[in-house]
């Protein structure tokens, strides 16, 4: 059943490819489709698929017009409606995939307002891996009290997948004495993948999702309106996000967040995150480590 679902996720991502590229992608075996993490398109190069950290070429050349077609299909031929995220270099796609885009930035008044002449597209495939967090969730509690936790790994390391299953475990009370009320600020719509009000991914029975709202705005809204025990966010990158999380922590709410970083020591070298560590907003970190093509998870206490 899990294999079938993983294959469907791949095929949903491949559906936004032009026909000749889609045929090449669909030539993969079922296990390869189930393992695929990304579909990569670079103008003038071969279409490739990321499998367990290595790119597998599919021996069909990508033209620049193919990238334009992918963008049109992803936005359902309405780029204007997606302009806000397009200028940030990504597009959310129905079903939970996300496109990362490179090309020529259009700069006006010192700000990027759009992208044109696409040169590369990365289709990130939405994945559910139920069960990967079941051994971790109980470790995030001390004397039955949740400890605010960071999830760390370099880009593409599986942070969002782990975050999704941790939310499910906390919300369902898997391995816990009591389930938790979790609020998810799903700014890019990648974690819960809400469609017509219902999450397409399993984020647990006691999770409330606010989608499409910047984290710095979403966190205070959730604090005021939903009485959360834990607020979860993906990809913290801005100072205003950190200020909102500090406010939530001062209100007694637990936090669960992902950050790009290979180690706690690496975070301490970056001024933005060093400030976060110095404020002691988070008590624990879950590090995602890779060995022999597999991911391993380790919980580490943050310095007091």
Q: DSSP secondary structure string, 169-235?
A: HHHHTTTSSS---EEEEETTS-SS-EETTEESS---TTEEEEESS-HHHHHHHHHHHH--SEEEES-
pTM here is 0.77
Q: How far is Cα 206 from Cα 226, in angstroms, rounded to an integer?
A: 11
**CATH homologous superfamily of 137-301:** P-loop containing nucleotide triphosphate hydrolases (3.40.50.300)
CATH code of the region 2-124: 3.30.450
Q: Is the distance from CB of 83 to CB of 71 less than 8 angstroms? A: no
Q: How far is Cα 160 from Cα 233, in angstroms, rounded to an integer?
A: 10
pLDDT of res. 195: 67
Q: How many CA atoms lie within 13 A of 194 on its CB side?
A: 15
- Please report, for the chain, the start and end positions of each structural domain, with discontinuous segments joined by +: 2-124, 137-301
Mean pLDDT in order along the chain per 10 residues (304 residues): 75 93 96 93 97 90 95 80 73 77 85 83 87 96 95 89 97 96 91 80 96 93 97 92 93 95 88 84 93 86 85
Q: How far is Cα 65 from Cα 118, in angstroms, rounded to an integer?
A: 9
pLDDT of res. 95: 66
pLDDT of res. 48: 98
Q: Is the distance from CB of 96 to CB of 198 less than 8 angstroms? A: no
């Amino acid at each position: 059943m899990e294999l079938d679902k993983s294959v469907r996720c791949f095929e949903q991502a491949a559906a936004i490819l032009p026909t000749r590229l889609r045929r090449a992608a669909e030539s993969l075996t079922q296990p390869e489709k189930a393992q695929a993490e990304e579909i990569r398109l670079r103008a003038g190069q071969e279409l490739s698929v990321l499998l367990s950290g290595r790119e597998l070429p599919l021996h069909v050349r990508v033209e620049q017009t193919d990238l334009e077609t992918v963008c049109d299909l992803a936005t359902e031929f309405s780029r204007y409606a997606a302009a806000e995220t397009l200028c940030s270099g990504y597009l959310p796609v129905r079903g939970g995939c996300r496109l990362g885009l490179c090309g020529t930035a259009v700069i006006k008044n010192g700000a990027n307002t759009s992208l044109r002449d696409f040169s590369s597209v990365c289709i990130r495939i939405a994945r559910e891996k139920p069960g990967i967090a079941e051994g971790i969730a109980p470790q995030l509690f001390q004397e039955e009290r949740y400890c605010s936790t960071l999830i760390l790994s370099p880009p593409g390391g599986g942070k969002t997948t782990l975050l999704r299953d941790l939310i499910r475990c906390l919300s369902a009370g898997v391995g816990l004495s009591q389930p938790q009320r979790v609020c998810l600020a799903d700014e890019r719509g990648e974690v819960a993948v809400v469609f017509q009000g219902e999450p397409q991914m399993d984020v647990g029975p006691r999770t409330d999702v606010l989608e499409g709202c910047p984290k710095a705005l979403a966190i205070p809204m959730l604090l005021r309106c939903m009485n959360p025990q834990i607020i979860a966010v993906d990809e913290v990158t801005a100072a205003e996000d950190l200020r909102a999380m500090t406010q939530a922590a001062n209100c007694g709410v637990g936090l669960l967040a992902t950050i790009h970083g290979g180690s706690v020591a690496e975070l301490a070298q970056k001024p933005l995150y060093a400030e976060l560590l110095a404020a002691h907003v988070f008590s624990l970190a879950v590090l995602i480590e890779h060995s022999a093509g597999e991911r391993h998870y380790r919980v580490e206490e943050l310095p007091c």
